[in-house]
Amino acid sequence: MLPAAARQFVEDRWDHAIVARLSDYIRIPAKSPAFDPAWVAHGHLERVARDALAWARMQPVRGLKVEIVTLDGRTPCVFFDAPPTRAGAAERTVLFYGHLDKQPEMSGWRAGLGPWLPVLENGRLYGRGAADDGYAIYAALAAIAALDTSGVPRPRCVGLIETCEESGSFDLPAYLEHLAPRMGQVALLIGLDSGCGDYERLWVTTSLRGMAGGVLRVQVLREGVHSGNASGIVPSSFRILRALLDRLEDSRTGELLDPAFHAVVPPDRREQANGAGAVLGDQVWQQFPWATSNVAPHAGSTERVHPVTSDPVEAILNRTWKATLSVIGATGLPEPKEAGNVLRPGTELKLSVRLPPTVDARQAVQRLQQILLADPPYGARVSFEADSAASGWNAPATAAWLEQSLQRASLAQYGLEPVWMGEGGTIPFISMLGERFPQSQFVITGVLGPQSNAHGPNEFLQIDYAKKLTSTIAQVVAETPF
């Protein structure tokens, strides 16, 4: 059990320091480089890194060294190193990971809320980035400090907090190469950028989907022309795009058609999905803000849009091990109120394909290009510019000591056993680190639970859950056998 003094330290740190720090962090529009090409000039990423650095230097962590590391032309990283306090501790280390960059604003925030406006309401801190995952460095150092101030011995702890994750972590390989010699032998990675199925217990992430994406462009004319004059002779660029997407996906079911995008779900992941589905039930799909349907209710129908599947286990496997295509952006389409009777010269769509954890993202991108560019309809000018390729991650077998420690910590802090489940998002660093430290154990977890809405409007951090997660992590670090 974590000493009462350590738990109280975490509680006080959150109430009297971390919430205020995260409120200041929310106010800074530290958008990831993909969404702010002028990030250097704006200085927001540098500012959030320096704010985290200043806070870290004030923490009662024995021997803590912390710095901002900046490689030429790359986004900054915060790196900290807390030497071991356990007598005879080996060279093996615990590595904490998080990020400080944010997704863009997104429309649809309810009245009184906004992406850069921190609002504390009913135990939730609203605003962009606190849960995804600006809290990570603050929670990590609070957990370490709780042990040190309570006299609980621990191993060496290091931390890498990047500012490029929401852009696919394209700067991270260089930093990993640069900093890996200073990390020592990483035996346990604690990543705080993942999700939770509810706010009642610890959730441990066992897999992450990969991602492949880019911009698909179709051009049929040099300039727009009167649709009454040209339609029926000039093919619509939008219709050509539809035909190209039909090569990828069955639009009736959402199934991707090419086997290159699919993988077999391992038996242990199916078993974990069964367990998570039993815990969550219909909450798996009810958590989303469904629109009201305009279909008149009748026998067997509902008054709202319904999910692809209402089976909890199938839904969990769909969002963690199934390949999916999403169109997440478009240009060439005017606002409806400004749309004249014009056959537009071209259209472009931003595509995002989520990949099963074991599919190689680079090969998937190559296959995307082959499918979309082959034999363009009507000889149209078609291009596909890939802009993301991040492979997923499937956790190695969990060591008995770690599984038992997570069990004890969840029971101690939440009063319930932990649940193991895959997540549908992508954290490029996890797969990178797994390749570099193949013997490492992983605790991937986070605070992104129901309605927390990372990347969307009304994003929030559930403070009480984050407090308990901080104490949970502290207990696991204290119980490491190295």
CA 49 to chain centre: 19
Residue ranges in the chain modelled with pLDDT below 50: none
Helices (H) and strands (E) in the chain, counts: 15, 20
Q: What is the pLDDT of residue 433?
A: 83
Supply the pTM of this predicted model: 0.91
Q: How far apart are the first and last CA of the chain?
A: 18
Contact, 172 vs 180, CB < 8 A?
A: no
Contact, 478 vs 149, CB < 8 A?
A: no
- CATH 3.30.70.360 assigned to domain 210-271+309-389? The reply is yes
Whole-angstrom distance, CA of residue 202 vs CA of residue 470 = 11
* Residue 398: half-sphere exposure toward Cβ, Cα within 13 Å: 19
Q: What is the pLDDT of residue 471?
A: 98
Q: Put residue 95 in one of left, alpha, beta given phi > 0 → left and psi -120 to 50 → alpha.
A: beta
Determine the Cα angle at 281 with ends 277 and 285, to 5°: 100
Whole-angstrom distance, CA of residue 469 vs CA of residue 463 = 10
Nearest alpha-carbon partner for 188 in 422, 427, 6, 401:
401
Whole-angstrom distance, CA of residue 224 vs CA of residue 235 = 12
**DSSP code for 96:** E
* Residue 204: half-sphere exposure toward Cβ, Cα within 13 Å: 29
- Whether the bond between 133 and the residue before it is cis, its omega within 30 degrees of 0, is yes
Whole-angstrom distance, CA of residue 50 vs CA of residue 34 = 21
Q: What is the pLDDT of residue 41?
A: 98
pLDDT in tens, 280-309: 999 999 999 999 887 766 555 557 899 999
Nearest alpha-carbon partner for 100 in 167, 11, 13:
167
Contact, 76 vs 70, CB < 8 A?
A: yes
Nearest alpha-carbon partner for 206 in 161, 267, 157:
267
Whole-angstrom distance, CA of residue 285 vs CA of residue 346 = 36
Whole-angstrom distance, CA of residue 410 vs CA of residue 408 = 6
Q: What is the pLDDT of residue 371?
A: 98
Buried b / exposed e along 251-281 (16+ C-beta atoms within 10 A):
eeeeebeeebbbbebeeebeebbeebbebbe
Whole-angstrom distance, CA of residue 466 vs CA of residue 377 = 52
**DSSP code for 195:** B
3-state secondary structure 421-434: EEECCCCHHHHHHH
DSSP 3-state of 273: helix
Contact, 320 vs 281, CB < 8 A?
A: no
- CATH 3.40.630.10 assigned to domain 4-208+392-478? The reply is yes
Whole-angstrom distance, CA of residue 75 vs CA of residue 390 = 18
Whole-angstrom distance, CA of residue 131 vs CA of residue 119 = 13
Whole-angstrom distance, CA of residue 406 vs CA of residue 417 = 9
Whole-angstrom distance, CA of residue 101 vs CA of residue 171 = 12
pLDDT in tens, 423-454: 999 988 888 888 888 889 999 999 999 999 99
Residue 294, token pair as written in the block: 């305009």
pLDDT in tens, 70-95: 999 999 999 999 999 998 877 899 99
Domain ranges for the chain, please list them.
4-208+392-478, 210-271+309-389
Contact, 165 vs 428, CB < 8 A?
A: yes
